């Protein structure tokens, strides 16, 4: 699995647009997303195994509820699975929890991005529940992966983004607005 310090791979994927635009129907609902989309932004790229499942919509909806928080931090969210853009659209139409999803759902049907990242489950052939925080230069600054049966915590992704954006030393459980560590002050106190 690619990790901190690695360049996020190049990609070109079809996607269902976020928001109401994504419900415009075939020909109006789709767009193409690449690694150069949204220049100058941090990117939160998270993967789920399959559409029309049980854990996945809980995570996707939770990221959707935090979308404005991420946007306030100059970050865009890309949700990705190995399902097609048509399956994504159908799922959005029929699932109340993700119908108004404010970010695009990318279709990695050839599994090229999942494979390049090293996050394909060896037995199921679908993406693990992997999450990447990518800085505006395209470098991975945080990577995490859960197995297929355990959901992740989008609030933790937001907390880590906050910490990364301070460019300071952040202690365990640090939260935005709390003091960071000052090594010089720690040595003076000793």
Burial of 187 (0-12, 13-18, 19+ CB in 10 A): exposed
- The model's pTM: 0.95
DSSP H/E element including 16:
strand 12-16
Rounded CA-CA distance 20/158 in Å is: 24
Strands 129-134 vs 140-146: parallel, antiparallel or unpaired: antiparallel
Could you tell me which residue, 27 or 62, shows the higher pLDDT? 62
Tokens of 18: 């976020």
| Predicted local distance difference test score (pLDDT) of residue 183 | 85
User: The dihedral of CA 87, 92, 98, 100: what is its sign?
Assistant: positive
Digit-coded pLDDT (tens) for 78-99: 999 999 999 999 999 999 999 9
Rounded CA-CA distance 41/153 in Å is: 22
Rounded CA-CA distance 83/149 in Å is: 18
Digit-coded pLDDT (tens) for 147-164: 999 999 999 999 999 999
Check: CB of residue 176 under 8 Å from CB of residue 162.
Answer: yes
> What's the CATH fold of domain 12-189?
Glutaredoxin (3.40.30)
| Predicted local distance difference test score (pLDDT) of residue 142 | 98
| Predicted local distance difference test score (pLDDT) of residue 188 | 72
Residue with tokens 């949700």: 79
Q: At residue 27, does pLDDT exceed 80?
A: no
Q: At residue 112, does pLDDT exceed 80?
A: yes
Strands 75-81 vs 105-107: parallel, antiparallel or unpaired: parallel
| Predicted local distance difference test score (pLDDT) of residue 186 | 66
Close Cβ partners of 115 (under 8 Å, ≥ 6 residues apart): none
Share the mean pLDDT of the chain.
95
Check: CB of residue 11 under 8 Å from CB of residue 112.
Answer: yes
Q: At residue 25, does pLDDT exceed 80?
A: no
Check: CB of residue 81 under 8 Å from CB of residue 49.
Answer: yes
Residues classed as catalytic: 56
């Amino acid at each position: 699995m690619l990790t901190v310090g690695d360049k996020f791979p190049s990609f070109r994927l079809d996607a269902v647009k976020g928001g109401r635009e994504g419900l415009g129907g075939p020909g109006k609902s789709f767009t193409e997303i690449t690694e150069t989309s949204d220049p100058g932004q941090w990117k939160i790229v998270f993967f789920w195994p399959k559409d029309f499942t049980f854990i996945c919509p809980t995570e996707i909806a939770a990221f959707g509820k935090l979308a404005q928080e991420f946007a306030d931090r100059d970050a865009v969210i890309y949700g990705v699975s190995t399902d097609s853009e048509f399956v994504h659209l159908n799922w959005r139409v029929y699932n109340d929890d993700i119908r108004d999803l404010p970010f695009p759902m990318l279709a990695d049907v050839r599994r090229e991005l999942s494979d390049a990242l090293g996050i394909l489950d060896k037995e199921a052939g679908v993406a693990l529940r992997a999450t990447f925080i990518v800085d505006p230069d395209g470098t991975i600054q945080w990577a995490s992966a859960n197995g297929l049966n355990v959901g992740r915590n989008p609030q933790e992704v937001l907390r880590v983004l906050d910490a990364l954006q301070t460019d300071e030393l952040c202690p365990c459980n640090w939260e935005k607005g709390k003091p960071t560590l000052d090594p010089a002050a720690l040595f003076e106190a000793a």
